[in-house]
Structure 1
Amino acid sequence: SAAAPAPTLPPNPDAALRFLVRFLPIARRTIQADGLTLFYVRYWHPIFSAWREDRRLVTIRYHPEDLSRIFVSSTRKEFIEVRYADLRRPPISLWEQRAAVKALRDEGQRSISEVMMFRTIEQQRRLIADAKSMARKVKRHSPPAREHSTHGIFEQGASPSTASASAQQPDPIDYSKPVTAYDVEQW
């Protein structure tokens, strides 16, 4: 008897996307007049116009690494891809969103808006980009590590070779003494 073929991913992109969506985290929301809000971000799709009349409860699946699109389903089988209501917004991750909300809360903000959150994320991204460029400049303009001066690091009278040698060598081991065993709990 022949062995059954190994299971593989579905060949077409739609099936692969459906496969991915099954493993994404889930949230449940009700469609409101202005669309759907998840993590202080507003989402909109034309089908929401029909769904908001009966305040339909929907299941949302979202990718934590990219909150620019979510997958919304009113039934268990079919879903639609929904984008930000404001398409000018950049893609963000859930971790960036949480860091921005935490930063705003630390500043004393009680109510957080989508605008404030995206502004904070942009500031955080700018801060990281500036730090990376400064690090590159420092690396580019600093002398290689072997040319660094050791003047002033060691105590007076101690040379770099004796100071590093004494720090690296532990006390000598006396192998003529008997070995002491550690107490061990017997099970």
Structure 2
Amino acid sequence: MMGKVHLLPGTTFSDVRMKGDLDPSKSAAMTLDEVECWLAHAITGVYHRELHRGIGATPLVAWQRGLEGSDEQPGRGSPTPVTDARKFLIDFLPMERRLVRRQGVFLHSISYWSDVLRTLIGEREKMVVRYDPRDLSRIYLWAPDGRYYDLSYADLRRPAISLWEHRLALKRLREDGRAQVDEDAIFAAIDRMRGIVDRAIVETKTLRRQRERRLQAARVAPVEPAVAKPDKPHPTAFEPLPENERLFTNVEEWL
């Protein structure tokens, strides 16, 4: 499967020696959503139906044998059907355990809040909190009543950020000598980084247009200037004109 992934445009490869002089940013053509869709099809439509040498069957056949049983082993039976797609998705997200405080729930140095927390303030046990690394603007608290509750930023003016941006911001702040990092510093750093990217995109587009204009100008053949015929040299005062060009032929020359 990883071999197929490295065939996608924009791959960074797993080894810098394999990448060589290739610049992945120049060949990248797919969005993250498109990569996720491609990966889902590659797993369910291709990988699950290809022969796996380790098990001697396709993963799909091995799954069916595990459920239905075979001559060698009894089946485990069909799994419980998924009735709550939202909970099913959240269950697979990464998790942390956090206390509910009066200010809310703190995760990744960011404060989160929801009115449902009012009834949970004072709980001594840490609660399960799950988050989507692609969007930290919302997290999910597993409450004692067996339900997930959405917690949003305590400051709703904050923009949605990814875990990757968050980690890069922390790295930049530590490089700048910031020992203590708070929420304001994190979002300020992310805002600066996004500004750099936005300006680079504009400059890159401008440079690309300028380069295309130069290439277009180079492809246009230059118009050769017309070569003017040299003028007939004017006779000097010391050179007599030929007889056929003289206006008066019977003129005595005084030289």
Answer yes or no: same fold by TM over 0.5. yes
Cα contact 1:56–1:74 (8 A) shared by 2: no
Change (3 A) 1:76 1:96: farther
1:32 is matched with which residue?
A: 101
Alignment partner of 1:112 is 2:181: yes
Alignment equivalent of 1:78, drawn from 147, 166, 177: 147
3-state SS in 1 of match to 2:115: coil
Aligned-residue offset at 1:48: 1.5
Moved over 2 A (4+): 53-56, 74-77, 144-148
2:242 is matched with which residue?
A: none
TM-score (norm 1): 0.68
Q: Distance in 1 between matches of 2:94 and 2:188?
A: 26
Cα contact 1:57–1:74 (8 A) shared by 2: no
1:90 is matched with which residue?
A: 159
The residue type equivalent to 2:93 in the other structure is L
The residue type equivalent to 2:218 in the other structure is E
Q: Distance in 2 between matches of 1:54 and 1:19?
A: 26
Alignment equivalent of 1:61, drawn from 130, 133, 140: 130
Q: How many pairs are equivalent?
A: 140
Q: Deviations over 1:158-181 (max 9, x none)?
A: xxxxxxxxxxxxxxxxxxxxxxxx
Cα contact 1:26–1:60 (8 A) shared by 2: yes
1:138 is matched with which residue?
A: 207
Q: Distance in 1 between matches of 2:145 and 2:179?
A: 36
Is 60-69 or 45-54 further displaced after alignment? Answer: 45-54
3-state SS in 2 of match to 1:112: coil
3-state SS in 2 of match to 1:52: coil
Query: Considering only CA atoms, is the larger Rg found in Structure 1 or Structure 2?
Result: 2
Cα contact 2:114–2:152 (8 A) shared by 1: yes
3-state SS in 2 of match to 1:67: strand
TM-score (norm 2): 0.51
Aligned-residue offset at 1:18: 1.2
Cα contact 1:70–1:83 (8 A) shared by 2: yes
Aligned-residue offset at 1:17: 1.3
Aligned-residue offset at 1:10: 5.3
Identity rate, percent: 33
Alignment equivalent of 1:122, drawn from 154, 168, 191: 191
Q: Deviations over 1:115-166 (max 9, x none)?
A: 1100100000010010011000001112228939xxxxxxxxxxxxxxxxxx
Alignment partner of 1:102 is 2:176: no
Q: Distance in 1 between matches of 2:168 and 2:217?
A: 39
3-state SS in 1 of match to 2:150: strand
Q: Distance in 2 between matches of 1:33 and 1:68?
A: 19
Q: Point out the structure with the larger helix share.
A: 2
Alignment equivalent of 1:47, drawn from 116, 120, 125: 116
Q: Point out the structure with the larger strand share.
A: 1
Q: Distance in 1 between matches of 2:216 and 2:130?
A: 50
Question: Gaps (5+ residues) in structure 1?
Answer: 149-187
Change (3 A) 1:76 1:97: farther
